Structure 1
Amino acid sequence: MGSSSKKKKEKQKDFVKPKLKVGKTKPKADNHTSTSFKAKAIVVGHQSLNTAAPTIQSQLKHNLTLLNHHAYTTRRDSLAHIASVLSSSSVSTPPISYSILLPALAPLIVDLTGPVRAQLLTLLNNHTKSRDPRQDAIIPVDAIRMHTPRFLLYIHSAMTHISAEIRADSTNFLSWLLDVVGEEAVRGAKGWGKTLKCWIVLLGWESAKSGRTARGSTIEFSDPGKNKKATLQHLGVLKQFLYTGMVEEEAQISDFEMRDRDLLLPHQYSDVYMMPKTSNVYGYLNIFGIPAENTSEEDAEGSSEDCDSRRRVVKNVFEGSIRTGLQARLQEGGEVGRAAGAVLKILDKGLRTDSDTTT
């Protein structure tokens, strides 16, 4: 009997609440660990003992790896750092190879965050276009020309992207590429026919192929002002694109350049016997290709080396869709109607040139 009461008292001790008195500290728990000791040294793992600062090249490579970071602020700040380093470097001695830099920048065209795309466009505009015509751009045109197919790949992806904001910004990058490399952007493989297919999807003109009325743009915003702004932007870049690919302009040669050319090329047909500037020089003859009247969309995605082949692709494949869509925009009137009318003039001018050459 006594042992059982003793056990009960021992169990009740665990549930007894101690009475606290004013001025006295709370008693410490049984499992309390004292941390009042002081350490004489602190050892940090993986501590670098190198006193030299990291080089500019190593910092650039580190920031290029951060372009794939999950936080958009990190990607944006990395682009800003790369832009600042390029601005302070000379054209003759780049801080990093362009074969490493440009392929890392191209995927950001389809970045899901608007500030990152805006920072990328600012970097490309400021460092690939020279403000002074007497000086070369920081990133030379030849480097951009070599990576044009890669930039076009991501531009096409942006033009047909599921995100409306990415589609809205896609033509900004296409306009930049046309400004920098010019005809090179529409000459190579996937540069003309593939881009025209993306234009048809972007502007919502697929239904025009079957003779139905073209619907509105695929870029829909809750704010009608943004929708109008995006439409005006797309039509302006479409005008630039068609003008670059279909309209040939004679280069203006000064009297001084004419005299030098006469000294270097004394014969009037010297240009005919010079080395060609493009591949597939006789491609416009279409000797081994598919007949013009049988050209399909798949055939149109090939290389278009000259204006004649590009006009033929537009006339046989895309003219109906483009013209129907522009006519629908023209009927809206206002700024959109005027922009569509300007694109129609360029389209007619390019196709009229083609008819003049064939006759």
Structure 2
Amino acid sequence: MGSSSKKKKEKQKDFAKPKLKVGKTKPKADNHTSTSFRSKAIVVGHQSLNTAAPTLQTQLKHNLTLLNHHAYSTRRDSLAHIASVLSSSPASNPPISYSILLPALAPLTLDSAAPVRTQLLTLLTSLTKPKDLRQDAIIPVDAVRMHTPRFLLYVHSAMTHISADIRGDSTNFLSWLLDVVGEDAVRGAKGWGKTLKCWMVLLGWESGKSGPGIRTSSIEFSDPGKNKKASLQHLIVLKKFLSVGMLENETPLSHYDIRMADLLRPHQYTESHLMPKTSNIYAHLSLFATGGVMENVNEEDAEGSAEDFDSRRRIVNNVFEGNIRAGLHTRLQEGGEIGRLAGGLLKVMDKALKADRLDTH
């Protein structure tokens, strides 16, 4: 009997509630673990043992890899970092090769985020167009000229993109190319005819008229006239594009050409003794072509040779003139600033094609 009463008392202890007194803390449980200790060591999971800081080349290459990051803020910040590093570096000794930098920047013209495209345009403008013409650009014009076909490829994709925002910003990059490299942006198989085809799609002038919408392949584009700001931008750049490509005496020179003209012009006939800038400088004479080849240009030949002003005017005259004039007359009827720009474009067309027709006769 004594042992059984003892066991009952021991069991009752497990359910007994301790009496708490004022000023005394609650007793700790039996399974309590003390965490009052302090550690004097800090453990880092991935710690580099290299004491030297990363070089500028390493930082730039790392930021180039971040241009493909899924977060648009990371892509934007990487562009800003690249611009700040290059702007503080000497142009004669860049920390990274332009043959690596420029091809990595070109695809961002199709970036889905507007802040990234804006930052890219700011970078290209600030690094290739110096504020003072007496200074060299950080990225030389020759480097941009070498990669102009690659930039044109992405500009064409942007001009015919399914996203309206990307199409709206596409002509900003084309305007930058025209300002930096001048005629080189419209020369060649893809610079003139292919770009004009993209213009027709962008402005809705493929069918020779401006309607509520056009369909090409399986992509339906809305009427570009609904967005007045984008329409103004497109018409301004189109006027610059046609002027550079067809008006020989009024082609704006790039900052590089202006500086070289001042340095290499001891007399007025200096240009006649310099090396030619085009590969086929006597194409307009048709010395090695059969009769009528240069005169009859159809839509299949629109992306052909456009090395000189005559060939570019002839392509417009035989392929694109009807569509461009129909679209401009529609814009002219809208009046306002768009109507004035359309009228200015018609004057450029008349002036360029009138000179071409006088030459042919």
- CA separation of 1:33 and 1:153: change in aligned 2, threshold 3 A: farther
Shift of 1:288: 3.8
Shift of 1:192: 0.0
CA–CA separation in structure 2 for the residues paired with 1:297 and 1:20 = 99
Alignment partner, residue 304 of structure 1: 306
The one-letter code of the counterpart of 1:207 is S
Shift of 1:45: 4.0
CA–CA separation in structure 1 for the residues paired with 2:26 and 2:355 = 101
Whether the 8 Å contact between 2:211 and 2:223 is mirrored in structure 1 is no
TM-score w.r.t. the length of structure 1 is 0.81
Whether the 8 Å contact between 1:164 and 1:220 is mirrored in structure 2 is no
Alignment partner, residue 7 of structure 2: none
Shift of 1:356: 1.7
What are the residue-to-residue correspondences of 1:173-192 with 2, within 5 Å? 173-192=173-192
Shift of 1:358: 1.4
2:343 partner SS: helix
- CA separation of 1:276 and 1:35: change in aligned 2, threshold 3 A: same
- CA separation of 1:63 and 1:220: change in aligned 2, threshold 3 A: farther
Shift of 1:301: 1.0
CA–CA separation in structure 2 for the residues paired with 1:20 and 1:205 = 91
1:260 partner SS: coil
Alignment partner, residue 57 of structure 1: 57
Whether the 8 Å contact between 2:171 and 2:233 is mirrored in structure 1 is yes
- CA separation of 1:28 and 1:63: change in aligned 2, threshold 3 A: farther
Alignment partner, residue 205 of structure 2: 205
- CA separation of 1:35 and 1:352: change in aligned 2, threshold 3 A: same
- CA separation of 1:18 and 1:124: change in aligned 2, threshold 3 A: farther
CA–CA separation in structure 2 for the residues paired with 1:18 and 1:183 = 96
CA–CA separation in structure 2 for the residues paired with 1:131 and 1:19 = 84
- CA separation of 1:28 and 1:171: change in aligned 2, threshold 3 A: farther
Are positions 1:89 and 2:89 aligned together?
yes
- CA separation of 1:83 and 1:21: change in aligned 2, threshold 3 A: farther
Q: Provide the aligned C-alpha RMSD in A.
A: 3.3
CA–CA separation in structure 2 for the residues paired with 1:18 and 1:216 = 86
Shift of 1:258: 10
CA–CA separation in structure 2 for the residues paired with 1:98 and 1:259 = 30
Are positions 1:358 and 2:360 aligned together?
yes
- CA separation of 1:76 and 1:198: change in aligned 2, threshold 3 A: same
What are the residue-to-residue correspondences of 1:329-348 with 2, within 5 Å? 329-348=331-350
CA–CA separation in structure 2 for the residues paired with 1:288 and 1:308 = 15
1:320 partner SS: helix
What are the residue-to-residue correspondences of 1:1-359 with 2, within 5 Å? 41=41, 43-208=43-208, 213-215=209-211, 218=221, 227-249=227-249, 260-261=266-267, 271=272, 275-286=275-286, 287-288=288-289, 291-292=293-294, 294-359=296-361
Whether the 8 Å contact between 2:244 and 2:250 is mirrored in structure 1 is no
TM-score w.r.t. the length of structure 2 is 0.81
CA–CA separation in structure 2 for the residues paired with 1:259 and 1:43 = 68
Shift of 1:165: 0.3
Q: How many residue pairs were aligned?
A: 328
CA displacement 1:5-50 (0-9 Å, x = unmatched):
xxxxxxxxxxxx9999977579678xx9987887675553442111
User: What is the aligned-residue identity percentage?
Assistant: 69
- CA separation of 1:118 and 1:18: change in aligned 2, threshold 3 A: farther
